[in-house]
Amino acid sequence: MNPLAAFKVAIAALRLNALRSFLAMLGVIIGVASVIVMVSVASGAGQAIEDRIKALGTNLLVIQPGSYTSGGRRAGEGTALALSESDLAVIRDKIPGVAAATGVVSGSAPIVFGNTNWTTSIDGVGGDFLEVRDWALTEGRNFTEAEIRSAAKVIILGATTARELFADGPAIGQQVRVMNVPFTVIGLLAPKGQSGFGTDQDDTAIVPVSTGRRRLFGAEKTVPDNLKRIMVEVASAEEMSDAQSEIETLLRSRRHVRLGTPDDFQVRNMAEFIRTRTETQNILSLLLGATAAISLIVGGIGIMNIMLVSVTERTKEIGLRMAVGARRRDILSQFLIEAVTLCLTGGLIGLAIGGGSALALAVWGAWPIALSPALVLIALAAAALVGVFFGYYPARRASLMNPIDALRYE
């Protein structure tokens, strides 16, 4: 019997018991739909989080003061001696692979425009900040070196802050007040959305680092040119580990950290953070996929059960086919094709339900999804393999029947 004829016979046999065939397919339908929904949603959420983390900058090292130890007790984070402009200059000049670096002082304060008052985070930054953060301007310009040296009263607003202060009106050139200090708006930052930590990156404003230190947040007595953190962009991902190691060695020397004692600073590698998050997301996707695959296995057991019942019901038909010349492999292939047809039909229905559910989550639930063609092919291939695996035993049992005993079966 050729495959096309066998397929037609399989369809006819399944249509005779349409309800039973549908119930047999139900496990496969649920399994494939679960795989599609779970994996596409998990992948989409992971991609969204990764995009937000990458918005922080991939080849980025963030250096912050740590804690100090006194009398055998450690104080809280950020209690150690502050970083300084001289630390920034040495890192920029002596560490190979540094493409750009900037110091940051930060705080929060209300920004006032007319009758509108909006409290936001404000960072005092160097001229390389936009390059380090890979942050574009939609309007206006960056700070000049002269403005940074002279602590000029100029400000660049994030998208959320600008919208809250000016709605749809023009912002460039407007005068705002920060802690009763007048500032001129010279630029608007491009929207970045939420960070990987769930905060709104656009609810911010930046001023020259010298302005933030002198006019807004104040300078520390022990470190007049203090910095809350230093952000370093490394030229390539391959140089990240070497740059981090050299910065740590340099700062240990400058801050007189004794051998064997904890560092009083931290160097955070954003590329390593992204890699760790990606590995975690892959494990989560694998676990979700494995959970959904259990439904496929349950569905396969249902297919085997129905096929065994079908073999028993069609014993006389099997004997008659053998009597008129059907070979054992013809009987085997006939029932295998029926099992695979059941699973593939269920897989296609499950694919439609799963894809529709994932799209509904994306449209109505504003949930990110990633539905790839590879995932569709894998789900259908898994359904076909379930049909072959769980359909083989009933098919083999049918092919091994004795024709005479089959014809006598009541």
**Among the ranges given (3-17, 90-104, 141-155), the one the predictor scored with the smallest mean pLDDT:** 3-17
> CB neighbours of 396 closer than 8 A, spacing ≥ 6?
332
Q: What is the mean pLDDT of residues 341-353?
A: 86
Which pLDDT value is given to residue 366? 65
Closest CA to 268 of 95, 9, 66, 10: 66
DSSP-assigned states of every residue in 105-154: EEEEEEEEETTEEEEEEEEEE-TTHHHHTT--EEEE-PPPHHHHHTT--E
Cα gap 76→266, rounded to integer Å: 13
pLDDT at 203 over 80: yes
28 band by pLDDT with thresholds 50, 70 and 90: confident
Which pLDDT value is given to residue 70? 46
Q: What is the mean pLDDT of residues 71-98?
A: 76
Cα gap 24→55, rounded to integer Å: 48
The gap between the terminal CA atoms of the chain, to the nearest Å, is: 27
Altogether, the residues listed in the chain come to a count of 410
Helix runs in 255-366, H state only? 270-313, 315-323, 328-364
Q: Which residue has the higher pLDDT, 326 or 166?
A: 166
What are the pLDDT digits (tens) for 242-301? 888 999 999 999 988 888 788 888 888 866 666 666 677 677 767 766 776 777 777 778
> Sign of the C-alpha dihedral, residues 374, 375, 377, 378?
positive
**Can you give the pTM of this predicted structure?**
0.59
Pairing of strands 181-189, 175-178: antiparallel
- Amino acid identity, position 340: V
Which pLDDT value is given to residue 121? 93
Q: Which residue has the higher pLDDT, 12 or 203?
A: 203
Closest CA to 333 of 6, 4, 58: 6
pLDDT at 64 over 80: yes
